[in-house]
């Protein structure tokens, strides 16, 4: 087999893994949003994070089998993120460009996050009674960081970076540049319209969540208290406790569901060059 054929086969497998990964990520976010929407509507549900969503999948009929499939998808997404970090398949910048280096680091961090999520899914499949909450882990790592020299400043800086990332989500939602990633010529007008709406609403919802998470991280640094740290579940719970909380939570929950739909659109129509 020629080198060209080998490269083509490799690209084909990476593309399949990436599309499978976007689908799995979409399922997880849609579940988080649906559960939060139930809370907002007063119909049960709970505010949870992506790991909590995995636990919800496990308790459904055939849940362990479905979760095993989702775990494989998350592994695929992890691989895709690492490919983006190493090879820059989207050709977004030169290797010596500062923005490109930051982008690659971001892809790598995302890959590690989804590696952890995939590992959690596998653990739940092996032992369905295992807790899927990530809150304690976040607080443990924050406590360790606070114990280091300049720990409060480091935690505060991380919080500021998270808030900055949240505002970047708002920017992406406003500009809708994510449309460039989609094969718009393959989409009907209706699909294009709804993919754009889902992307904008989903990114904006994520922006809200990241700003809240970053705020609590800064509070943890200021107060030297790791218990102040919140994840996605804590951010959603915080929204529910505000004035007009059910409305705020409901809007963000719909946004997270929309983000899941946007992931499905990426799974089907994203340009993937590997």
Per-residue pLDDT of 55-76, as tens digits, reads 999 999 999 999 999 999 999 9
Rounded CA separation 66/69 (Å): 5
Sign of the Cα torsion 49, 55, 60, 63 reads positive
pLDDT classification of 136: cutoffs 50, 70, 90: low
Residue 61 domain-assigned (yes or no): yes
Cα(270)–Cα(84) distance, rounded to whole angstroms?
14
Task: Look at residue 182 and give its three-state secondary structure.
Answer: strand
Q: Give the percent of the chain with pLDDT over 90.
A: 69
Secondary element (H or E) of residue 126: helix 98-126
Distance CA 14, CA 123 (A): 25
Residue 66 lies in a domain: yes
Per the structure, the complete domain to which residue 167 belongs is given by 3-269
- 207 pLDDT higher than 60: yes
pLDDT at 135: 54
Q: What is the pLDDT of residue 264?
A: 97
Lowest mean pLDDT among 103-107, 143-147, 154-158: 143-147
Which tokens belong to 209?
């969540």
Q: Three-state SS for 270?
A: strand
- 10-21 pLDDT, tens per residue? 568 889 999 999
Query: pLDDT tens, 208-226?
Result: 999 999 999 999 998 888 8
| 274 pLDDT tier (thresholds 50, 70, 90) | low
- Decide: 220 and 226 in contact? Cβ < 8 Å: yes
Instruction: Flag whether pLDDT at 199 surpasses 80.
Output: yes
Q: How far apart are CA 160 and CA 211, in angstroms?
A: 9
- Please give the tally of structural domains in the chain: 1
- Dihedral-angle region of residue 86 (phi above 0 means left; psi in -120 to 50 means alpha; beta otherwise): alpha
| Sign, CA torsion 86/92/93/99 | negative
% of residues, the chain, pLDDT over 70: 90
Q: pTM higher than 0.75, yes or no?
A: yes
Q: Which of 6-20, 27-41, 220-234 is the most confident on average? A: 27-41
What mean pLDDT is predicted for residues 218-247? 91
- Measured between alpha carbons, how far apart are the two ends of the chain, in Å? 19
What is the dihedral angle through the alpha carbons of 111, 177, 205, 19, rounded to the nearest 10 degrees?
Answer: -40
Average pLDDT for residues 84-89, to the nearest whole number?
Answer: 83
The average pLDDT across 102-111 equals: 91
Whether residue 260 lies inside any domain: the answer is yes
pLDDT category of residue 45 using cuts at 50, 70 and 90: confident
Whether the CB-CB separation of 143 and 226 falls below 8 Å is answered with yes
Length of the chain: 274
Identify the pLDDT of residue 129.
53
- Helix, strand and coil in the chain, % to nearest 5: 80, 0, 20
Is the residue at 274 inside a domain? no
Q: What is the pLDDT of residue 91?
A: 64
């Amino acid at each position: 087999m020629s080198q060209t054929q080998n490269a083509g086969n490799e690209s084909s497998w990476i593309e399949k893994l990436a599309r499978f990964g976007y689908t799995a990520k979409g399922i997880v976010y849609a579940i988080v949003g649906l559960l939060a929407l139930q809370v907002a509507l007063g119909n049960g549900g709970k505010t949870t994070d992506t790991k909590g969503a995995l636990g919800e999948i496990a308790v459904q009929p055939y849940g362990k089998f479905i979760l095993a499939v989702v775990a494989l998808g998350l592994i695929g997404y992890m691989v895709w993120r690492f490919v983006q970090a190493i090879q820059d398949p989207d050709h977004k910048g030169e290797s010596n460009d500062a923005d490109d280096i930051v982008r690659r680091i971001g892809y790598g961090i995302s890959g590690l996050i989804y590696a952890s999520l995939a590992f959690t899914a596998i653990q739940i499949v092996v032992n369905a009674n295992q807790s899927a909450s990530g809150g304690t882990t976040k607080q443990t790592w924050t406590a360790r960081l606070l114990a280091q020299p300049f720990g409060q400043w480091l935690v505060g800086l991380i919080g500021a970076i998270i808030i900055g990332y949240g505002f970047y989500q708002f920017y992406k939602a406003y500009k809708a540049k994510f449309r460039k990633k989609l094969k718009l010529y393959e989409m009907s007008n209706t699909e294009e319209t709804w993919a754009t709406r889902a992307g904008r609403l989903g990114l904006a919802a994520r922006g809200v969540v990241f700003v809240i998470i970053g705020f609590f991280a800064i509070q943890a640094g200021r107060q030297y208290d790791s218990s102040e740290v919140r994840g996605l579940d804590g951010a959603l719970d915080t929204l529910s406790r505000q004035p007009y909380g059910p409305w705020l939570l409901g809007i963000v929950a719909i946004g997270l569901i929309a983000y899941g739909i946007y992931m499905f659109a990426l799974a089907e129509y994203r340009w993937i060059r590997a």
